[in-house]
Homo-oligomer: A and B are copies of this chain.
Amino acid sequence: MKNKHIIFLAIVVLCVFSCKQKQENPPIQKDPLPSFNDVQSKANIMAFVQSVTDSTSSNYVKPIDRIACFDNDGTLWAEQPLPSQLFFVFDKVREMARSNPKYATESPYKQVVENNLEELLKQDKDKLVAMIGEVDSLFYPNYKETVNSWIDTVQHPVLNRPYASTVYQPMIELLDYLRANQFTVYVVSGGGVAFMRAWQPVIYGIPENNIIGSTFKTEAVQKNDSIAVVPTSQFDFYDDHMGKVINIQKTIGKKPIMVVGNSDGDLEMMEYAFTNNPHPTFMLYVNHTDGEREFLYDEKTIAGKLVKGKEVAKKNGWTIIDMRNDWKTVFPN
């Protein structure tokens, strides 16, 4: 009888215990940022995320206000020797020149076909921008497929991997970490919005509606009861420097609590988010210090100059990632 009672009790306890365990689902304490070394930048990121998600903390921010804005070129993927969208445009111009003499003889297309970067950069800036819009609009409505096929297969000229694999592994982990903590992540980049919306939803997991970039004008075309929005090559808005601030206010409508960038072009959106923000903020710069695994640049570069931004960051105590020292891995395997 006594044994029976003990077995009975044991089964009940076991059952209740297993029931309780299943209910609670204790989280596995996995490192959310395994590609970061154990450095100050990692500690700062995690301390910020922990404090704004802790409902008992005075720094607590409701999920609806957890907005993070990321620059793209040089922040989420490589931007040297030139931003990758330009290599895409150059490749497509060369393709177009094979069947249309206009693109082989007129500037600035001619300089692209001749691969004369020095002469190309001397061309009228508006014409250079219009060339990007021309490619965007000429490949409509198959633009998205065209971009994705290019990005998945064409090799980066220096990094020897497809452009799709020139994204920074530690930043992919940071995006996942923020989303797991109910942040809404936006890209706010000088790059073309159509180009970015083609590949970033899959590669970053960021949906089209959270991607803000430079724009060309569009035209709404109605045929019977069907309406299409068609891209044009007419430039609309450059989403860099103060343009990023204007677009954040226009599209997001409130200040982000976190901004991540790598250049002076990101400084204004950081200053905008940092000052008069009703919530705690976290500003994060990526500093390109790794000439071996990636590129070493800040002052002297066509893309991604970081001079004033570093000064302001130091003055304000913002966090700076030292790529060489802070990242265990740069690119995904």
A268 touches B208 (CB 8 A): no
In the assembled complex, A117 has its CB within 8 A of some CB on chain B: no
Q: Which of A22, A220, A254 has its CB near the most chain B CB atoms (within 10 A)?
A: A220
Binary interface encoding of chain A residues 287-324 relative to chain B, with 1 for a CB under 8 A from any of its CBs, else 0: 00000000000000000000000001001100000000
- Classify chain A's interface size: 35 or more
What are the residues of chain B within 8 A of A312 when measuring CB–CB? 225
A1-44 interface (Cβ within 8 A of B): 4, 8, 11-12, 15-16, 18-19, 22-23
The residue that A225 contacts in the complex, of B8, B225, B227, B275, with Cβ under 8 A, is B275
* Contact flags A195-233 to B (C-beta < 8 A → 1, else 0): 001000100000111010001001010100111110000
Q: With A18-B19, A226-B271 known to touch, is A211 a contact of B253 (CB < 8 Å)?
A: yes
Q: Name A7's closest neighbour in chain B (CB-CB).
A: B8
Residues from chain B with Cβ under 8 Å of A201 in the complex? 64
* Cα distance, A193 to B246, chains bound together (Å): 14
Best-buried of A207, A252, A271 by chain B (most CB within 10 Å)? A207
CB-based contact A268/B227 at 8 Å: yes
Assess the B15–A19 pair: CB atoms within 8 A.
yes
What are the residues of chain B within 8 A of A12 when measuring CB–CB? 11-12, 15
User: Separation in Å of the A8 CB from the closest CB of chain B?
Assistant: 5
A251 in the interface (beta carbon within 8 A): yes
Given known A-B contacts A16-B15, A18-B19, A229 and B249 have beta carbons under 8 A apart: yes
A271 is contacted by which of B193, B197, B225, B276 (Cβ under 8 Å)? B225
Q: Which residue of B lies closest to A223 (CB)?
A: B275
Compute how far the CA of A114 lies from the CA of B323 in the bound complex, rounded to whole angstroms. Answer: 66
A-B contact pairs, 6 of them (CB 8 A): A16-B19, A23-B23, A208-B252, A225-B312, A226-B276, A227-B271
